[in-house]
Structure 1
Amino acid sequence: MTQSIGQKFTPFTLLKFALPSMLMMMLMSCYTIVDGIFISRFLGDTALSAVNIVYPVVSILLAIGIMLATGGSAIVAKKMGEGKNAEARSDFSMFAATGVLASIVLAVLTLLFLTPVCRVLGATDALLANCRSYLGTVILFAPACMLQSLFQSFFVTAGKPKIGMTLIISAGVTNAVLDYVFLAQLGFGVEGAALATGIGQMIPAVVGVCYFFFIKGDLYFTRFQFHGKTLLLASGNGASEMVTNLSNAIITYAFNQILLRLVGESGVAAITIILYAEFLFNALYLGFSMGVAPVISYQYGAKNDGELQKICKICRRFVLFSAIIITICSYFLSEPVVYLFVGSKNETYQLAVEGFSLFCLAFLFSGFNIFSSALFTALSDGKTSAVISFARTFVFILLSLMTLPPILGVTGVWLAIPVAEFITLFLSAFYQWRKRTIYHYA
């Protein structure tokens, strides 16, 4: 691994190293979108709305997994940069075991209180049956979802990003094929989509467990002792990523409630389509940040200031350049993307196209904000990362939702995230400038 993330990078080799993570995240977003397309096309807007209603529970699961993955991988990569390989393996094993245990606890609690959870999240009488069916099925695969989240980061830390990408491709193809079989051929309903997702997640989970148990590379499972301080450090360091997903759960709930009040269930279906599209376009930034984070952590741990500065400069240029391209592409692809879900120019289609043509302005700013948060996570400055992430994904969006819709109506809903990303841009720039002399990345 040290020869991989510790090498001298050029712009080309850094992008090449990060490419598997970028493709992996984009493919993950694609097979999440495939679920939405099949549900919308074969089961209708009501089923699509139901899936979005209960998605906050999945967001909580992902929040824990991504927190342990990003915060833990920063610690593991840093220790390997310091030459503490045995400690790194022990910590990695502890993070994986903790994540699986947490996923089991969440799954049991969800199943015990399935109907109350759906009701609290906003399920109406028309949506309740589909909410119960989807959530009750997908939560059964919580450990697989957790391990998939962990292995996304740790395959990169192990210097094997291509293995992680291959597993995600396999999971995505499996999910898409099973979506067709379960929904189009067998008529399983929303539980079929949940089952397809869960079976797809089993592939990277099972193969990842086998790999880290039996392949004795630089990073593998070992016996470990539980170190609460290390776990807390990883949790604090990865708090920004956890905050992002927990905030997504709350913000999704807020969007759903506001749109139910303004335009009804078609509005919930429209925002579901837009949020799927956001996941797709932001996946490039998320994957890039995930790919370069272990490199930054390693160089920081090895105290290679010159290499660290060069890497961060490459990252900023890539993010700023790609932001312009992604914004333009997303604007012109708004109608084709929405049509994939809806298939006809009904009320949901019109709302989603109108919304996405405004919403895509967020991509001008989101890349820099995502990278800024990931940068400080990689530098083990979880506090700063969490401040940026919390402001970006919760505070500024919630303030926008409280102020814009009363003035602009539905248009204010679509502009809430672009406005939040724009404000966060100044916060991200401030922290990058302020911390540059502390961590020597600029």
Structure 2
Amino acid sequence: MIMMVFTSIYGVVDGLFVSNFVGSTPFAAVNLVMPVLYFLSGPGYLLGTGGTAVVAATLGQKKRHLANGFFSSLIQTTAAAGIIVLILGQWMLQPALQLFGAQGTLLAESLHYGRIALLGVPFLMLQDAFQSFFAAAEKPRLGLEIIIAAGITNALLDALFIIVLDWGLTGAAAATVLGMAVGGLLPVLYFIRPNTSLLRLGRGIYSARILGRACLNGSSEMVNVAASSLVTFLYNYQLLKWAGPDGVAAYGVVMYLSFIFAAVYIGYAMGASPVIAYHLGAKNREELHNLFRRSMHILAAFSLTTFSITQLFASPLTALFVGYDQHLWDFTLQGMRWYSLAFLFSTFNYFGSAFFTALNNGLVSGLLAFVRTLVLEPLCIIIFPLLYGTTGIWAAFPIAEICTCLITVSTFYRLGSRYGYLH
């Protein structure tokens, strides 16, 4: 969970420094580019989460050599995909930004920031993949330490490049790239050498069947990443239309703060998935039942806690980013209070997709993610502003999460007896 929190710091730290020391329009530029970066990094989640389910299940079957071969091939595939994605990203950046409403100064500054920040995508993909594999390797603490190192690197370099050297958006982008490089390359150095974990990088065992299983298992996470980026694009488009660049800046603050809270339950799902997959492979149905029951209790506590914190501290948290502009502060605060209602339900929705990924049921996992992020959320973002204006934009996400939660809970009950996590 803490690993995911520090991963979310990349955009948050850039936004915090840019908003306070560069300006609101450059801040909006960062907010427009970040969804592109996370969309392009999606294959890292796909191969990491889906591959971890395969590797962890293989470890549960006591086939360590085979698990290492699969692990190595998946990491090597991620690295190769990162280079391809970087090239495609440079080509698609400008048309993507123009498609979602950027023009004039906002477009120019978004391109300036994005061209540099895209250089970090291959490292971000490796980092995302390794996050899952650290849990399967029984080294989550080491993974945490590496993510902390990456986050601190990004924060310190932001301060140096933006405040001390006055590099503006160039400094913010460079700090992000170097932070991602730390998070992506340090795990390679660890796993490629003899180590005390269950996994080691070496000669890959390439199998179309294993790669296909990994992609199918991780499809829900890939859908989540891609759809989250799409939803962010839609939000930015609607807010540019209804409120101008200030709307994009306000949404950026809401998203940055929600990233940190969402990182807690996303991190829990990622950390629990290898354990669930292991006991699936070992046929420990009783332990699957215990894991599911306790997870429901933990997620309920997460939901209530994050919602309460957001409601209680929305005002000072918002002031950290846009306290210099009263109008922007008020508009952002309204969005934060509405948006945080979704935290009561999104914890269960994300865990649902990750849970069925760990059970190697990529079809159900992918369908849950698809309905949530590619059907309900876009429809709500398109329809509700027509009825309620900017309030409808902010309310769209919680309404979509409520509908998704009903589907997720019913799926838990319908498939419980098949896997044994419900008695």
The question of a shared fold, defined as TM-score above 0.5 by the shorter chain, is answered with yes
Q: What secondary structure does 1:380 align onto?
A: coil
Question: Is 2:194 the partner of 1:209?
Answer: no
Equivalent-residue separation in structure 1 for 2:382 and 2:179 (angstroms): 38
Question: Is 2:5 the partner of 1:26?
Answer: yes
1:53 and 1:122 in contact (8 A); partners too: no
Question: Is 2:273 the partner of 1:293?
Answer: yes
1:120: Cα distance to partner? 3.2
Supply the AA of the counterpart residue of 1:50.
A
Question: Is 2:220 the partner of 1:244?
Answer: no
**Mean CA deviation greater in 177-186 or 196-205:** 196-205
Question: Which position in structure 1 is the counterpart of 2:251?
Answer: 271
Equivalent-residue separation in structure 2 for 1:432 and 1:138 (angstroms): 40
Equivalent-residue separation in structure 1 for 2:305 and 2:96 (angstroms): 40
Equivalent-residue separation in structure 1 for 2:204 and 2:298 (angstroms): 39
Question: Which position in structure 2 is the counterpart of 1:307?
Answer: 287
Equivalent-residue separation in structure 1 for 2:143 and 2:414 (angstroms): 35
* 2:239 corresponds to which of 255, 259, 272: 259
Question: Is 2:143 the partner of 1:174?
Answer: no
* 1:431 corresponds to which of 387, 405, 411: 411
For residues 60-79 of structure 1, what are the structure 2 equivalents within 5 Å? 60-79=39-58
2:14 and 2:172 in contact (8 A); partners too: yes
Once the two structures are aligned, what percentage of the paired residues are identical?
A: 38
**Per the alignment, do residues 439 and 263 of structure 1 end up closer, same or farther by CA in structure 2, a change over 3 Å counting?**
same
Structure 1: which 5+ runs fail to align?
Answer: 1-21
| CA offset digits 1:45-87 (Å, max 9, x no partner) | 1111112222232122221111111000000000100112122
Q: What secondary structure does 1:134 align onto?
A: helix
Supply the AA of the counterpart residue of 1:89.
N
**Mean CA deviation greater in 184-193 or 115-124:** 115-124
Question: Which position in structure 1 is the counterpart of 2:337?
Answer: 357
For residues 400-415 of structure 1, what are the structure 2 equivalents within 5 Å? 400-415=380-395
1:198: Cα distance to partner? 1.2
1:112: Cα distance to partner? 4.2
Structure 1 stretches of 4+ moved >6 Å: none
Question: Is 2:366 the partner of 1:377?
Answer: no
Equivalent-residue separation in structure 1 for 2:176 and 2:49 (angstroms): 23
Supply the AA of the counterpart residue of 1:200.
G
1:225: Cα distance to partner? 3.7
Equivalent-residue separation in structure 2 for 1:120 and 1:413 (angstroms): 19
Question: Which position in structure 1 is the counterpart of 2:18?
Answer: 39
**Mean CA deviation greater in 112-121 or 408-417:** 112-121
Equivalent-residue separation in structure 2 for 1:115 and 1:268 (angstroms): 17
Q: What secondary structure does 1:218 align onto?
A: coil
1:74 and 1:297 in contact (8 A); partners too: yes
Equivalent-residue separation in structure 1 for 2:4 and 2:172 (angstroms): 20
1:121: Cα distance to partner? 4.1
Question: Which position in structure 2 is the counterpart of 1:104?
Answer: 83
Aligned length: 421
1:205: Cα distance to partner? 1.9
Q: TM-score, normalised by structure 1?
A: 0.92
1:114: Cα distance to partner? 4.6
1:317: Cα distance to partner? 0.6
1:257: Cα distance to partner? 1.2
**Mean CA deviation greater in 125-134 or 420-429:** 125-134
**Mean CA deviation greater in 217-226 or 320-329:** 217-226
1:54 and 1:121 in contact (8 A); partners too: no
* 2:202 corresponds to which of 203, 222, 229: 222
| CA offset digits 1:280-325 (Å, max 9, x no partner) | 1111101111111111000010001111111111111110122112
2:42 and 2:125 in contact (8 A); partners too: no
1:117: Cα distance to partner? 4.1
Q: What secondary structure does 1:333 align onto?
A: helix
Supply the AA of the counterpart residue of 1:428.
T
Question: Which position in structure 1 is the counterpart of 2:108?
Answer: 129
* 1:150 corresponds to which of 124, 129, 135: 129
1:113: Cα distance to partner? 5.1
Q: TM-score, normalised by structure 2?
A: 0.97
Structure 2: which 5+ runs fail to align?
Answer: none
* 1:323 corresponds to which of 303, 324, 349: 303
RMSD: 1.4
Equivalent-residue separation in structure 2 for 1:178 and 1:121 (angstroms): 30
1:81 and 1:302 in contact (8 A); partners too: yes
2:47 and 2:215 in contact (8 A); partners too: yes
1:145: Cα distance to partner? 1.0
2:220 and 2:366 in contact (8 A); partners too: yes
1:331: Cα distance to partner? 0.8
Equivalent-residue separation in structure 1 for 2:42 and 2:90 (angstroms): 19
Q: What secondary structure does 1:187 align onto?
A: coil
1:379: Cα distance to partner? 0.4
1:401: Cα distance to partner? 1.4
Equivalent-residue separation in structure 1 for 2:370 and 2:239 (angstroms): 23
1:104: Cα distance to partner? 0.5
**Per the alignment, do residues 110 and 321 of structure 1 end up closer, same or farther by CA in structure 2, a change over 3 Å counting?**
closer
Question: Is 2:167 the partner of 1:188?
Answer: yes
| CA offset digits 1:12-60 (Å, max 9, x no partner) | xxxxxxxxxx111122223431111001111111111112222232122
1:222: Cα distance to partner? 1.9
| CA offset digits 1:399-433 (Å, max 9, x no partner) | 11122111111000000110011001111001100
Question: Is 2:178 the partner of 1:199?
Answer: yes
2:100 and 2:236 in contact (8 A); partners too: no
Equivalent-residue separation in structure 1 for 2:231 and 2:299 (angstroms): 25
2:101 and 2:240 in contact (8 A); partners too: no
